[in-house]
Amino acid sequence: MMNIVSSKHSFFSRGFTLMELLVVIAILGILATIGLGAFASSQTKSRDSRRKTDLKNIAVALETYYNDNAAYPVSAAGKIVGCAAAACEWGSEWKTGTTIYMATLPIDKTAYNYYYYSDGSRYVLYARLENSNDLQAAKTSEGAPGEYGGSVCADGVKCNFAITSTNSPAPTVTGVGEEDAF
């Protein structure tokens, strides 16, 4: 009886082999890579969702401005001209006279900018989504990722998401890197 117990004890005390440890480490590495990829994807989707919400909130404020003034504020260099006679900076208050249209104009916290175009009778708001395969991102007629010509959301980077006033035609979509007149 003593013999059986001592052989059982030595079987459990020998530990893991090097090969078993390497297999476990490899499996953990694969799982970590999958987890980090999913986390990065969810972060991108979250930032893109924020951009869409920001533009929708700006659109609501633009409609309020239109109701008060019978025109949309014009644009200058991709910004709203509506802070007195100057262009409002993204991230600052949008106030005309005593009316505050937005306490803080949203700002894209990444390297991209929002872009606003208006002639006073209609407007287009642009943003750059990180996920070019987003269902609401610009697509060419072939379904490939596209961009909006004339809208620049960063140095040399065109915008690929737009919200327009109800009376504005849809902006022209070009293929990525193609030139187009605005």
Range in 50-54, 77-81, 146-150 with the lowest mean pLDDT:
146-150
The answer as to whether 159 is a domain residue is yes
3-state DSSP assignment of residue 82? strand
The answer as to whether 110 is a domain residue is yes
Higher pLDDT, 172 or 176: 172
Ranges of H-type helices in the chain? 2-12, 18-69
The answer as to whether 76 is a domain residue is yes
Number of domains observed in the structure of the chain: 1
Whether residue 5 is predicted with pLDDT greater than 80 in this model: the reply is no
The answer as to whether 5 is a domain residue is no
Whether residue 20 is predicted with pLDDT greater than 80 in this model: the reply is yes
The whole-model pTM stands at 0.77
8 A C-beta contact, residue 112 and residue 140:
no
pLDDT tens for 105-139 read: 999 988 899 999 999 999 999 999 999 889 999 99
- Over range 25-40, report the average pLDDT: 82
Token pair recorded at residue 36:
């980090």
- Over range 61-88, report the average pLDDT: 92
- Over range 152-168, report the average pLDDT: 89
Distance of CA 47 to the CA centre of its chain: 4
Residue 118, domain extent = 48-175
Distance CA 167, CA 123 (A): 9
Tell me which H or E stretch contains 94. Answer: strand 94-96
8 A C-beta contact, residue 179 and residue 151:
no
Token pair recorded at residue 122:
């209609």
The answer as to whether 53 is a domain residue is yes
Give the model's pLDDT for residue 49. Answer: 94
- Over range 143-157, report the average pLDDT: 84
Give the model's pLDDT for residue 182. Answer: 40
The answer as to whether 26 is a domain residue is no
3-state DSSP assignment of residue 139? strand
The answer as to whether 12 is a domain residue is no
Whether residue 175 is predicted with pLDDT greater than 90 in this model: the reply is no
The answer as to whether 74 is a domain residue is yes
Whether residue 44 is predicted with pLDDT greater than 80 in this model: the reply is yes
